[in-house]
Amino acid sequence: MTKRVLICSLVLAALASAVYAADLAVIVNPQNPVKSMTLAELTKILKGKSPSWPTGHNITIVLRDGDSPMLKLVAEKIMGVGADDARRALSDPSRKATAPVVFATTDEDIVKFVGSNSSAIGFVDVYNITGAVKVIKIDDKQPFDPGYVLKAH
């Protein structure tokens, strides 16, 4: 390989880093009758202001911990705050009784949790969904739809 190869590689790396931007899928248990919600409703859920489903069951939120890009996306696009503020708000112990938040280390864990918990709502990279969960529409749009609000970019 020559110098030219390395230069090309570096430039292509910059190119590629801009290419992949997964949509965030909002997932619930298939038994959950909810099929869609507005972004405003989703914001209320994450902020603990709307802690239960229409069925009356308390909502359990499950999302990625640490510095994951998905948590940053949830913070910015849904909660309208930075990742640190979102993490602080979501970790507030006072929420445990009404709108508990579970942090997971992988999307796979989130999918498994939501797939086995009828009151959970999760946030994952759309490429990690399985048939065990249901993807709900936000503002009448689902991942890959034109104008879908939870598009990473």
For other proteins, the binding residues (CB under 8 A) are 1-20, 22, 25, 126-133, 135, 142-146, 153
Q: Report phi then psi at 64, rounded to 5.
A: -75, 150
Of 56 and 131, the one with the shorter C-beta distance to other proteins is 131
Report, in Å, the least distance between residue 59 CB and other proteins.
22
Short-list 90, 95, 93, 99, CA closest to 52: 99
Query: How many C-beta neighbours within 10 Å does residue 35 have?
Result: 11
Q: Closest approach of Cβ 110 to other proteins, in Å? A: 13
Concatenated DSSP letters for 47-109? TTSS-B-TTSPBPEEEEE-TT-HHHHHIIIIII-S-HHHHHHHHT-GGGTTTS-EEEESSHHH
| Least distance (Å) between residue 76 CB and other proteins | 14
Nearer to other proteins by Cβ, of 23 and 99: the residue is 23
Q: Which is nearer to other proteins, 87 or 151 (CB)?
A: 151
Q: In whole angstroms, what separates CA 13 from the centre of its chain?
A: 26
> Least Å distance between CB 31 and other proteins?
16
Among residues 43 and 128, whose Cβ is nearest to other proteins? 128
Rg over alpha carbons for the chain, rounded to the nearest Å, is: 17
Q: Supply the minimum distance, in Å, between the C-beta of residue 152 and other proteins.
A: 11
| 69 or 100: CB nearest other proteins | 69
Q: What whole-number distance in Å separates Cα of residue 99 and Cα of residue 97?
A: 6
